[in-house]
Chains A and B, each alone.
Chain A
Amino acid sequence: MRLDVHTSLRTFFIVAGGLYVLLVLACAILPAASMERQYPITQEWVDPRVERGEQLYQSYGCIYCHTMQIRGDERLAKEGPDGTLVVPVLGADRRFGLDEPSRAEEYRNDDPPFLGTERIGPDLLAVGIRLPSAAWHYWHLYDPRAVSPDSNMPGLPWLFHTEDTQQPEDEKVAPLFDLDVPKGRLYATPDAQALVEYLLSRTRPESRR
């Protein structure tokens, strides 16, 4: 049989469309299915506030500037004392204070996982370990430059109230004495609380209890 893609539209389409669909199956659908089989989704109880925070992280597009992945250098993988393969953290990613790269099971229930593709701001994979203070996060979200002077992150002041606009469900934000933050009282709305709750929940699996 002659495969005439030049004069038969049908033959051309079967080749160009069919081959493409096969490649998509081989290099997208099947690997995705195997990842899901290897690291199945588990049913875990999640604090509804954390869930709301995750949703806000998603809709405010935090992933455009923050990654949530510590890269591992597979080229330097060595066998550890217990016989498993140990992958060291890639040099440029060592600053974030973690000695182990991201693991697949850390993301298994994330919908979607926020691996990200740009690092205009720092990595947030385990921000709950690196920055465990809720007050710091509140002031930082309210006005990033108040706690991090050269920051180029935009603030989210609409998630906060002041003394005059305070609502009953708001939470009073503790002052940060060691940092030069604006004076006056700040009240975190439920959304701000949820976002900070979510950031603080970002820890490594070992310390997630």
Chain B
Amino acid sequence: MKTKVGISVFIAAAGTDPRFARLVHRYLLSAVFWLLAGSAVGLVVAFRLVDPTLFGQSEFFFHGLMRPVHTLTVLFGWASLALVGLGLYVVPKASMVTLSHGEIRAANVALWLWNAGLVIGAAALFMGFSTGREYREIPWWAMSFIAAGDLLLFTVFWRVISRRTVKGIYISCWFILAASFWIAVILVVGYMPFFRKGLANTVIEGYYIHNAVGMWFTPLAVGLTYYTLPKLLNKPIYSYALGVLGFFTHMVFYTIIGTHHFLFTPLPDWIETVGVVFSVAMIVPVWASTGNFLLTMKGERTAISLSYSLPFIFVGVIAYGLVSLQGSIESLREVQEQWHFTHYTVGHAHAALYLFVSFLIWGSMYGLVPRITGREPEPAMVGAHFWLAFGGMLIYSVALFIGGDLQGEAWVERLPFMESVRRVIPYMVWRSVGGMFLLAAHVIFAINLFKMRPGAFTMAYESQGRK
């Protein structure tokens, strides 16, 4: 039986600057807007992979135009804004300072820059302005808004950490500050006007694709969890040293593995092999953090079963370990002949961004936001969100793992190509079923987020004359 946290949440929220509570909540509202838009587009794409004539043969629903809109909105809209919004909660709290009004204003401006970049970018994609480069399809003039927003956030994080009132810089701040710098480098390298042609572009592509995932989403999600998990369990992290090991091995290994997307191509062999070797070495940072979180949760079964936020973190942590292990295996040349280019990869990408990143976001969100807004969601509604999201993604990813494997098997056995198309149709149906669960989960999540809006305590704060 899940229970509300109750009065302690209200007390925790009572001393909060309402501007700060509204700031964090506003980031999350933007994030949920992009999540709803992105998953609706994704669902249409999924339906049309079953039957490409569904909704008519119009340009508007064309796969190649809708897919980048889906990836843009869920990656740069949903996951990024939710992670950054929670980062704006975690960094000041872990530094034991409150955000100044200037910093709150800067973070607000960053949010609008980011949203403007997304709107302009999505419109540009529909108008055919794609750069033709995966995950950096939107033109540079749209991405500049997002980059400017990120730089603004980096300065906010920097300023907050530099006036911290504790001696050490907590590891969450490490991950979040570093990620907001790394993504700036990633965007500059991904959009610089050099190496745009030929295989030079492919080298940059491998770097960009994998770093945008591994040096942005992963460190932010892991960094948040290093704060939220000990906070919710009210005990320190199992091993701080293990976290430090995880941070530095992650930074060195993850940066250089992007070429595993381009094995068996005419790229130099050494760079392909570096990609494979360090993809396997990723087991070290991944299990340093996963193990650390699991050992922190050891013996906390009751706390997890009573809480409505900890189950999300539990799933997210397990998924982080397992999906990353799957990624290490997928990078091996031996399995790429069959699995590369198939839906298996798509299943992996969704399991990673969803069961790992999004579940950790939700865990932190349900765990932290009530502490500054003073309002809690209905535990039953959070439960509905959890099971629809978990079940939906399980159906989705398992369908793609099996379908992708069969698809690749048809190629290895040299059956006619159409056989690989026919084979995956039933799995595309299951994928759409999973997708419908996910959209339903997101609608419930949106309601829950609305329930967590900043509450009446703001008046108490302002009447105390604390401006």
- Chain B positions within 8 Å of A, measured between CB atoms, are 48-53, 57-59, 61-65, 67-68, 128-134, 137, 158, 161-162, 167-169, 174, 177-178, 181-182, 185, 189, 194-207, 209, 215, 251-252, 255-256, 258, 261-269, 271, 274, 333, 337-338, 341-343, 345-346, 408, 411-412, 414, 417-418, 421-422, 425, 428
A129–chain B nearest beta-carbon distance, Å: 16
Given A39-B199, A150-B421, decide whether A155 and B269 contact each other with a Cβ distance below 8 A: no
Q: Which residues of B contact A119 (CB under 8 A)?
A: 341-342, 411
Distance of A36 Cα from B261 Cα, bound (Å): 20
Given A64-B67, A115-B262, A120-B49, decide whether A17 and B181 contact each other with a Cβ distance below 8 A: yes
Q: Which 3 A-B pairs have the closest CB atoms?
A: A61-B64, A71-B264, A58-B132
- Chain A positions within 8 Å of B, measured between CB atoms, are 5-7, 9, 12-13, 16-17, 19-21, 23-24, 26-29, 31-36, 39, 41, 58-65, 67, 69, 71-75, 90-95, 101-104, 107-122, 143-145, 148, 150-158
Q: Which of B196, B209, B346 contacts A118 (CB 8 A)?
A: B346
Q: Which of B64, B128, B265 contacts A71 (CB 8 A)?
A: B265
Whether the pair B408, A112 counts as a contact (CB closer than 8 A) is no
Q: Which residues of B contact A61 (CB under 8 A)?
A: 62-65, 67-68, 130, 132, 137
Whether the pair B57, A16 counts as a contact (CB closer than 8 A) is no
Whether the pair A35, B346 counts as a contact (CB closer than 8 A) is no
A138–chain B nearest beta-carbon distance, Å: 15
Q: Which of A5, A19, A69, A156 contacts B252 (CB 8 A)?
A: A19
Whether the pair A7, B158 counts as a contact (CB closer than 8 A) is no
Whether the pair B411, A113 counts as a contact (CB closer than 8 A) is no
Given A16-B174, A64-B67, decide whether A23 and B255 contact each other with a Cβ distance below 8 A: yes
Whether the pair A33, B195 counts as a contact (CB closer than 8 A) is yes
Distance of A202 Cα from B197 Cα, bound (Å): 17
Q: Which residues of A contact B207 (CB under 8 A)?
A: 24, 27-28
B188 (CB) vs chain A CBs: closest residue: A24
Given A7-B169, A155-B52, decide whether A95 and B197 contact each other with a Cβ distance below 8 A: no
Distance of A151 Cα from B419 Cα, bound (Å): 10
Whether the pair A35, B421 counts as a contact (CB closer than 8 A) is no
13 further contact pairs, Cβ within 8 A, besides A62-B64, A112-B205: A16-B251, A27-B256, A28-B189, A61-B137, A95-B414, A104-B198, A112-B196, A113-B197, A118-B346, A150-B418, A152-B52, A157-B57, A158-B59
